[in-house]
Homo-oligomer: A and B are copies of this chain.
Amino acid sequence: MRNCIVAQSGGPTAVINSSVIGVFYENLKVKYYDNVYSGLNGIEGILKGDIINLSELEYDKIDTLKYTPASALGSCRYKIDDYKENDEDYNNLFKILNSLEIQTFFYVGGNDSMDTVSKLSTYAQKCGIDINFIGIPKTIDNDLCLTDHTPGYGSAAKFIATTALETYLDSSVYTNNGIFILETMGRDTGWLAASAALAIIDDRMIADFIYLPEVAFDIDNFLSDVKERFIANNQVYIVVSEGIKDKNGNFISETKIANNHDNFGHNQLGGVGNVLKELIINAGITNRVKTLELGVMQRCAMHCASLTDLEEAHTVGRSAVSFSISGATGKMVGIKRVNETPYLYDTELVDVKQVANKIKYVPTDWINTEGNHVNEKAINYIRPLIQGIPNLDTKNGLPKYVMVEKDLVS
């Protein structure tokens, strides 16, 4: 018996299941592993023995899973200790993996999950345990090193750009339109906010300003930019990443602002969009300020996914199986952009240690000199990743999604 196991970790994306199904389908083709097991809720579930056998699911469910958003196998945010400090998890985990005759462990996730892959592969090699560990990249944040981009990002970028187009039109209908603030995720990096630069109508970019965590946010500059644009156009469209910080590294979302314009006098609750709104109102620019926090929608909107992203997520899963056959371990499947126009990519193995716990930022020369927008380099990089529309099955007029029954292996 030679089996493998796949599990998902960290925040879900629209296309994360496509990677798991990629592992399953590639193995169907090459018939290398006898069973493809799956751990529920990542390593946390595996440690509890919550494991199912994907090979026992019905095929039409498997096929619909490819088009179902969010981690169908469940997820976790579980960080294992360094084995030198505490090897309890290691002992338990390898006992379980051995009992299931696991040859390869595939872990779909972001920086933290790659840290887990790194630790487990190091431990196995050190102890002479013949189990391999391969990371499959996934995060809407697009902040993993050694890969051109991460599966999940293209679909989130597409949803953000589409919503920017639509809310810009919605916020342009009155004679007195005011200011609209779109808040995206992105605690450390501005990849998601930058994707709003793709929103173009009649050859004009609709976002007046895009603020990224990569640039120290200056309140005075912000207010003077917004005031000038508002006086000129009677309308301003602002995109902001939740993670923008001041020059001392403090999150702007945590700024305490006295509320001049209501009777409560309390501090502001809510995200950075609301902080910017208060700043604008308090500066007397206008009271007509609307904010929209996209929240979890940007990571699960399969109905607006990028076909390119969905297929790349699938491909990294398939490649992981191919690469595993030669016995690779301590690696992550990276995406390499091999041609700009037409856009072409390939997959390659990269060292997971160089990915774990590191962050890839939006390059400085992709941001304008004023630090309040991105330039053509960013657009040319992002645009190929949002192309195409997946052909979703529908049921009663809505996308057909499925959930996985939790029939645990004994």
CB-CB contacts below 8 Å: A385-402 with B:
386-389, 394-399, 401-402
CB-CB contacts below 8 Å: A281-310 with B:
290, 292-293, 295-297, 299-304, 306
Question: B74–A174 contact, CB under 8 A?
Answer: yes
CA distance A171 to B165 in the complex (A): 27
Binds B, one of A23-31, A186-194, A264-272, A359-367: A264-272
Q: Which of B14, B161, B173 contacts A12 (CB 8 A)?
A: B173
Q: Does A20 contact B (CB under 8 A)?
A: no
Given contacts A69-B170, A297-B292, A401-B169, contact A175 B44 (CB under 8 A): yes
- Return A403 CB to nearest CB of chain B, in Å: 6
Given contacts A76-B174, A170-B69, contact A383 B399 (CB under 8 A): no
**Chain A 143-172, CB within 8 Å of chain B: the 1/0 string?**
000000000000000100111011101111
Q: Does A232 contact B (CB under 8 A)?
A: no
Q: Does A68 contact B (CB under 8 A)?
A: yes
So how many copies of this chain end up in the complex?
A: 2
Q: Does A58 contact B (CB under 8 A)?
A: no
Question: B398–A300 contact, CB under 8 A?
Answer: no
Q: Is the interface of A mostly helix, strand, loop or mixed?
A: loop
Q: Does A199 contact B (CB under 8 A)?
A: yes
Question: B173–A69 contact, CB under 8 A?
Answer: no
Residues of B within 8 A of A12 (CB): 169-170, 173
Q: Does A202 contact B (CB under 8 A)?
A: yes
- Return A16 CB to nearest CB of chain B, in Å: 9
- A selection of 12 A-B contacts at a CB cut-off of 8 Å is A41-B173, A41-B175, A70-B172, A76-B174, A165-B398, A165-B401, A166-B297, A166-B300, A166-B303, A172-B403, A264-B267, A292-B295
